[in-house]
Amino acid sequence: MKNILVVGGAGYIGSHTVKHLGQQGYTCIVADNLVYGHREAVQSPFFELADLQNPASLQAIFSKYRIDAVIHFAAYTYVGESVEDPRKYYHNNLVGTINLLDAMLDHGVKKIVFSSSCATYGNPLYTPMDEAHPQKPINPYGQGKLMVETIFADYARAYGLRYMALRYFNAAGCSHDGDLGESHTPETHLIPLVLQAIRGERECIKIFGTDYDTPDGTCQRDYIHVEDLALAHQLALEKLDSLSGYINLGTGIKTSVKEIISAAERVTGKPCPVQIAPRRPGDPAILFAAQGKAQQLLGWQPRYTHIDDIIRTAWQWECHKKF
Ligand code: UDP
């Protein structure tokens, strides 16, 4: 298994995975519509401008290259927008994935690793959340990811599809050598926003709610380094012959919004201007992963287990962004 089609390989997690797979001797064919992705982020000589909503553009790629397996990152990821414009999300994230599966099956490609999300669980009934936690998404973004997981299970039974849905918690950090990073427009994620506030590029960071039932009143999340995610994709890919299903990817460590801000101040040596704001609708107080299954089945363990180390890589990127 050598030639991997990475759909959405110009995006944040996709580009880090392409870089990692290249270092491991894989050939990545990157397909991206560049709506949110960055051409400069693609560290592979093989790039195809393609859109999941254009089945012909997908079919053409499978005709042009001999693809052994697919990693699928291409998705819109703004949860709030998915509530306001669900049509956009279901067309791209759901119909687009069906189109991709059509092209795969038409060309005899039966292996896929997929970016799923802890958003498929909805509000936590208990934490840490293991893979047996009921899946009751609370927005169209999470709903679409769950529907894709359901389709995979049906296609596995009917067509012999081999799949691994990786349910990420909060992806964070940037390439340790500083040449890839997180560049979203608009940016909504906590760590880049905090660092941009510290750099004076934003007035302040708004803390969305200080009255949660957590030790310091702010939400706790499980931040996982993007290079740890990239490694997990490689391991999942290599296990597809014997494994098919779904796995959480998190560190099992919870960090609050206030702890992120303190860590960022520690790492950068600079103060972060802060404003207390109301809760953001749809934010559960605590989300963190039980990550035993990833360790047991993939032999995967996060290497970044200290939030300062994650933030350090993000800071390096914020100070020397290339795109
Ligand atoms: N958050 C915040 N201010 C911001 C952005 C995020 O307080 O400007 C909080 C948010 O409420 C959540 C955590 O930071 O508890 C992580 O949010 P992010 O959007 O990075 O990821 P999410 O958990 O929504 O996937």
pLDDT tens digits, residue range 89-109? Answer: 999 999 999 999 999 999 999
Q: Quick check: is 147 in a domain?
A: yes
How far is the CA of 246 from the CAs of 122, 153, 226, 243, 298, in angstroms?
Answer: 16, 10, 19, 9, 11
Q: Quick check: is 299 in a domain?
A: no
Averaged pLDDT score across all residues of the chain: 97
Segment 64-74 shows an average pLDDT of 98
Q: Are residues 218 and 231 in the same domain?
A: no
Tokens representing residue 68 in the block: 């052994």
Q: Are residues 73 and 213 in the same domain?
A: no
Ligand 1 in contact with 206 (CB < 6 A)?
A: yes
Query: Are the CB atoms for 155 and 98 separated by under 8 Å?
Result: no
Q: Are residues 139 and 56 in the same domain?
A: yes
Residue 274, SS3 per DSSP:
strand
Q: Is the pLDDT of residue 3 over 90?
A: yes
* pLDDT per position as a tens digit, 201-237: 999 999 999 999 999 999 999 999 999 999 999 999 9
Tell me what pLDDT residue 244 has: 94
Catalytic (active site) residue 246: no
161 pLDDT band (50/70/90 cuts)?
very high
The alpha carbon of 278 is separated from its chain's Cα centroid by a whole number of angstroms, namely 26
Q: Is the pLDDT of residue 1 over 80?
A: no
Q: Quick check: is 295 in a domain?
A: no
Residue 208, SS3 per DSSP:
strand
Q: Are residues 72 and 143 in the same domain?
A: yes
CA neighbor of 101 nearest in space, from 41, 186, 161, 174: 161
Q: What is the CATH number of the domain that holds 160?
A: 3.40.50.720
Q: What is the CATH number of the domain that holds 261?
A: 3.90.25.10
Name the residue of 81, 182, 218, 221 to mutate for ligand 1: max ligand atoms within 8 A of Cβ: 221
What does the alpha-carbon distance between residue 14 and residue 33 come to, in Å, rounded to a whole number?
13
Q: Quick check: is 283 in a domain?
A: yes
Q: What percent of the chain has pLDDT over 70?
A: 100
Single out the catalytic residue among 89, 141, 155, 212: 141
84 pLDDT band (50/70/90 cuts)?
very high
Q: What percent of the chain has pLDDT over 90?
A: 98
Q: Is the pLDDT of residue 122 over 80?
A: yes
Q: Is the pLDDT of residue 263 over 80?
A: yes
Beta-bridge mates of residue 4 = 28, 69
How many domains is the chain built from?
A: 2
Q: Are residues 270 and 191 in the same domain?
A: yes
Query: Are the CB atoms for 11 and 37 separated by under 8 Å?
Result: yes
CA neighbor of 257 nearest in space, from 297, 290, 212, 312: 212
Tell me what pLDDT residue 300 has: 97
- Ligand 1 centre and the CA of 189: distance in Å? 6
Segment 154-166 shows an average pLDDT of 98
Tell me what pLDDT residue 291 has: 85
* pLDDT per position as a tens digit, 10-30: 999 999 999 999 999 999 999
How far is the CA of 264 from the CAs of 104, 259, 318, in angstroms?
Answer: 43, 8, 12
- Ligand 1 centre and the CA of 190: distance in Å? 5
Q: Quick check: is 41 in a domain?
A: yes
Tell me what pLDDT residue 138 has: 94
CA neighbor of 255 nearest in space, from 203, 307, 184, 314: 307
- CB neighbours of 251 closer than 8 A, spacing ≥ 6? 169, 222, 223, 224, 228, 288, 289, 291, 302, 304, 305
Segment 122-134 shows an average pLDDT of 97
Ligand 1 in contact with 283 (CB < 6 A)?
A: yes
The domain of 238 spans 3-171+223-249
